[in-house]
Amino acid sequence: MWDATVVDTFAQGHYKDSARQAGFAATKAETAKFQKYHDLQSNYHFQPVAIETTGVKWQVHCLAKRLVNGSGDPR
């Protein structure tokens, strides 16, 4: 089971910590998703996908390549 989130790196709640730590907003979003789906994790394999708005095009391209390589499915 996947849950994808796009996080605004420059949002008021993220920009100060994002300036200090790369990937802060995405890590925070992933943690929130694990908490949200905690009850389902005993029956399903859960993988959150969080992408920050800075560098989205490059990150989505890299993610797509990894998904195709891992699954063997070009779609």
Of all residues in the chain, what percent carry a pLDDT higher than 70? Answer: 93
Bridge partners of 49?
4
Per the structure, the count of domains in the chain is: 1
- How many angstroms separate the Cα of 65 from the Cα of each of 11, 36, 40, 69? 28, 28, 28, 6
pTM listed for this prediction: 0.61
**Size of the chain, expressed as the number of residues it contains:** 75
How many CA atoms does the CB half-sphere of 43 hold within 13 Å? Answer: 3
Helix (H) or strand (E) holding 3: strand 2-7
Domain that holds residue 30: 2-71
- pLDDT (tens digit, 9 = 90+) per residue, 36-57? 988 988 898 888 888 887 755 5
Question: Is the separation of the CB atoms in 48 and 26 below 8 Å?
Answer: no
- pLDDT (tens digit, 9 = 90+) per residue, 4-15? 888 888 888 877
